[in-house]
Structure 1
Amino acid sequence: MSTPDGLPPLREVIAKLGLTARKSLGQNFILDLNLTRRIARAAAPLDDVTVLEIGPGPGGLTRALLLEGAAKVVAIERDTRCRPALEAIAAHYPGRLEIIEGDALSVDQAALVQDAPGPVKVVANLPYSVATPLLVGWLSVEPWPPWYELLCLMFQREVADRLIATPGSKVYGRLSVLAQWRCEVRLALTLPPAAFTPPPKVASAVVTLTPRAAPAPACRLTSLAAVTAAAFGQRRKMVRASLARLSEDAEELLAKVGIAPTARAEQLTVADFARLAAAYEARKDKAG
């Protein structure tokens, strides 16, 4: 069977290598090149772009990224069983695929792409087991704006829903605030379990996060993290109560930024939290 890139169908590749997705690594393979190309296009344009890919597995999305015109793909994979499949792709696209063996949580990702001639985009069908820690790491990069131009990431649908959640939603929380304060967040496409091998128990979704040059209202990330942790840590309580653990003058801080002390965390907007964080850090800095 012919494929658009001239390489064997991925199903044949994994059968030949005896590859099976490992639950311990959070693996679920997408074998349909048409589908992986849709994911790659969500990160477009890719011309002159270096793509950092996390957990490429046997290379389904890798092939799509190269086929869609990525100048170079730097792929971090900890599963050594996938190396032969990735090396075959590298041979087919000379000089355009760099394979890094290692754990993306411990690898210095920025260093891998610091000499990239063009912009860097992170595109990945993330292993479910490390998706949230990786995302929090990317959103916590300092200084800001970060070293990447775009995050285009596959998550379990429940995580995607948290990222795009708005105030009033039951899934609106700390991750929603952090992501939306630092990035423009968009749901790009959804995928049913049947799109994967083996099929997971839940649906998945691709989300794009485009860093804001200057997140506003301005505050320190550490302050925003502290305020959201306190507020959402007791989300059923009024904010005057949930923030009391953080500051003895919680009601005064709330009044200063125009937030009703009887409001609950899920009712506050991203801007509310940022203003509250700025007031909190100003009071803390003044106190020494």
Structure 2
Amino acid sequence: MQRIALLHTNFCSYEKVIVERLEQEQIGLIYLNSPNDLNSLSEPMKRDLALAIQELDSDSNIKVLILLSKLEKLFCAGANIKDISKISLESQLKGDIFQNIFQVLESIRKPLIVGINGVALGGGLELALNGDILVATEECKLGLPELKLGFIPGLGGTQRLAKLIGKTNAMKYILTSDSISAQEAYQRGLVNSVVKKEQLREECINIARKISEKSLYTLIAAKAAIKNAEEMPISQANKVERQIFNSLLNTKAAKEGVTAFVEKRKPNFRNI
């Protein structure tokens, strides 16, 4: 396993997102905040979101990321249809307009919790599906309705949805363009929990607090190992898991964890 570099970064100001740090808990929050276009994945939104993620992912004082929306009834409206109508095969081959943001999302090393409030359709749901833990509000409306427009989900939706809820369920929701309620999403394993809208932020933070009690290096290692289950044959993934396990045996985190267990106290992983 390669050594993980944890670097400080210059903090930025953004037009389309808001970044909040809970320093004591070592939690970083990103809020989508573009009410005029319903948090659509415009060029400024994609730029700001990618930069905010990179800022928090490279901040050694942050262990967990949370993605939320500042809009009361909507998470993200997805891609702007007017922008999509201007895309051609030639222009996409020259420069995929979604490549950068989804490369950033796929490369996040730290745990990412996504709190979905209200509507998350098309690219909005595909954005949420990049989360490691998903929390939804009771009135959530999720879905991938791209077939109504004559194309298919193109930001990982067909792949991620099928892996999360199974091929036949993904077939049903994508081919019919039916929306998915919060309860359906929970029953299918698409989201981890469903809460009242006023509880969404606190529920995400409560989960993040439990995670942030762990060693940052170990959190990054665990996430990498789990992702291998999706991307590798199990025999290969098992070998990589063992390599990661072995690489952690002599770390400060392992020594602190074992010592704390023997001494019957809670381990202190704050700066490890």
Q: Normalization by structure 2: what TM-score?
A: 0.29
Q: Return the structure number with greater helix share.
A: 2
Q: Normalization by structure 1: what TM-score?
A: 0.27
